[in-house]
Amino acid sequence: MASQCIGLIGIGLLGRALAERWLAAGDEVVGFDRDPAALPAFSALGGRSADGVREVAESTRRIVLCLPDHAVVRSVVSEMGDTLAAGHVLIDVTTGDSDTAVALERDLQPRGITYLEATVSGSSDHVRQRDALVMTGGDADACAACGDVFAPFARSVLHAGRVGSAAKLKLATNLVLGLNRAALAEGLAFARAIGLDPPIALQALREGLAYSRIMDSKGPKLLAEDFTPQARLAQHLKDVRLMLDAAGKAGLSLPLSETHRRLLDAAVSAGWGELDNCAIYRLYTAEDGGP
């Protein structure tokens, strides 16, 4: 497959992992991040650092937005201004709210700019292992045409429907994923408290009916109390707040997620928001924190 040039705006944990995969596949990546500290590491990988978002838009037609939330996406799109023109394709991997995604498509479509969702289920490590699921939203043919963008890091691509659908599906999957992670943390803390050997407890969980894939990636981190971030705890709190807001609009109560939100709030208040999302475990084990 011929190499391509991919624009990347947002070079955090996930953005850097995406860049690594594209560069390893032989693609050119021109990127920008508002945090200047992110750019030297990106350049060291072989990426071309831009001076701003307008330079990214001037350099390539396909631009991946990997940003903290849709408020930042809106700001970036506005900042690109008239450098965004007919023929540009914005591929938004940001976890955000579906209403904003729909509004972005509505605003950009009359200008001939294609806006697509491509939410990612999986951490930065899953992306590096080409083990992520991409959930796309938007015109089906346009999404399929971006398959070469997804192939270096995705094991599977699922078209969720029109724009807005992928944002909703990402929240639904993150709801279950986050509760699985919290249940694992609580279960291992419980096993330790009642005198069981935590590695044996984890083995039993992974080999029995309680198994979930999160045990493979987070179980060893919990046992080692290694909270080096693959995805940050504060980001998942943002997602849970989006879930609760969407559920409220739909007239649905989410009692488990409301409890999860309180736990995550406590973890962020304890100063652990920039740690890995499995650092919720510290609520059960740390002497300097807890609900």
- pLDDT tens figures, 170-183: 999 999 999 999 99
CA-CA-CA-CA torsion for 175, 176, 182, 187, nearest 10 degrees? 160
Specify the pLDDT at position 3: 63
The answer on pLDDT for 97 being more than 50 is yes
Q: What residue spans of the chain are helical by DSSP H?
A: 13-24, 38-45, 53-59, 70-80, 98-108, 124-128, 140-145, 147-150, 165-193, 198-207, 214-224, 233-250, 255-269, 282-285
| pLDDT of 116 strictly over 50 | yes
**For 8, phi and psi rounded to 5 degrees?**
-135, 120
pTM score:
0.91
Q: Is 161 helix (H, G, I), strand (E, B) or coil?
A: strand
3-state secondary structure of 120: strand
3-state secondary structure of 5: strand
CB of 113 within 8 A of CB of 138? Answer: no
Confidence (pLDDT) at 4: 86
What domains appear along the chain, each with residue ranges and CATH number? 5-162 (3.40.50.720), 169-285 (1.10.1040.10)
Residue pLDDT, tens place only, 237-262 = 999 999 999 999 999 999 999 999 99
Q: Which residues are 8's β-sheet partners?
A: 31, 64
